[in-house]
Amino acid sequence: MANIEQEKNNRVNIAKSFGSASKSYDVSARLQRFSGKHLMSWLPNRHDLTVLDLGSGTGFFTDLLASTYKQVIGLDISFEMLKFSEENRKESILWLQGDAHKIPLQNNSVDFIYSNLVIQWFEPLDEAITEMLRVLKPGGLIIFTTLVDGTLHELKSSWAKVDEDQHVIDFKTVKEINTLFHNEKSMLIEQKCQDIILEYQNVIHLARELKGLGANHLAEKKNRGLSGKDKWFKMTEHYQDFLEPDGIYPATYRLFSGLVVKLNH
C-alpha cells in the first residue's frame, strides 16, 4: 500500500516538475525535436485514424499529427502543459489530463499511440504498457522513443566520485525494454538504439536544460534541495575529464526507438 502511495506522489511531483517547465520546454527540447522527427518514418500512411499522443507535453508533435490524422488526442499528466497546448495548438485536438497508468479512454479505441521521450518516467512501466495495449485496437501500433541505460553517463560518473546520492534517474536497459514489450499481447517489431551527444557550454548549461525538460525530478533522491556548492564544484571538476578539445561539455543521451504491434488474439 505504501508503495502505491509513493508511486502516486512521484507522479504528482513529476507533473509539477514538467508543469513548471511548460514555458521553457520548447526552448530546451533539442533532444525531443530530434527524437520526435526520427519517428516520422514509422507513422501509418492512412489518414482516417485515431491517434493518442501519450505524454504530449507542449503539443509540438501533437500539432504535427493533427495535420495528418482524423482524430488526435493529446494526453499529459501536467495541467500547465495542457493549458499551454490548448492555447497554442490546433483547435481540432482533444486534450486530456491523465496518467499513463490509468488512461481515460475506452478499450480498443485508438489506432496508434505516439509517445516521444516519455516512457522513461512511467513507474511501474509494465502497468503503463498494459494500459496502452488496453486502449489500442488489435493490430494497432505503439511508436515510441525513450532513454535507456547509458544516458548521461558523464554526469552519473562525475557525481559518483563525489557522493553516493542519486543525481540522475536509473534508465531501463535495452534488454528490459525488449522484455516488457514482448508478451502475449504485443511484439516489438522494429527497434533502433543510438547515442545522441549534445554539447553544452558548461555543467550549469546542462543542469538548466535538464530542469527545462522537467528531467530533474528524482523519486529516490536522499538529500532534497540543491547539492552543496562544494559538492557541485567537485562534480564539475570531475566532469572536465570528458571535455572536448574545444572546451565544450558533452552529454550522451542513449535513444531507443521502438515500433510495437498489438497482437490480434
Which CATH number do you get for residue 182? 3.40.50.150
Q: How many domains does the chain have?
A: 1
Q: What is the pLDDT of residue 5?
A: 56
Does residue 26 fall inside a structural domain? yes
Distance of CA 117 to the CA centre of its chain: 3
Radius of gyration of the chain (CA): 19
Which range of residues forms the domain containing residue 76? 2-147+172-196+252-262
Does residue 201 fall inside a structural domain? no
Does residue 98 fall inside a structural domain? yes
Which of 44-48, 84-88, 213-217, 218-222 bottoms out in mean pLDDT, i.e. has the lowest?
218-222
pLDDT in tens, 94-103: 999 999 999 9
4 HSE (CA, 13 A, CB side): 3
Does residue 237 fall inside a structural domain? no
Average pLDDT over every residue of 104-131: 95
Does residue 205 fall inside a structural domain? no
Q: What is the pLDDT of residue 128?
A: 97
Q: Who's near 8: CB < 8 A, 6+ residues apart?
A: none
Distance of CA 239 to the CA centre of its chain: 25
Does residue 227 fall inside a structural domain? no
Length of the chain: 265
Mean residue pLDDT of the chain comes to: 87
Does residue 55 fall inside a structural domain? yes
Which of 26-40, 78-92, 112-126 bottoms out in mean pLDDT, i.e. has the lowest?
26-40
Q: Please say if the pLDDT value at position 22 is more than 50.
A: no
Give the span between the Cα atoms of 24 and 211, in whole angstroms: 9
Does residue 181 fall inside a structural domain? yes
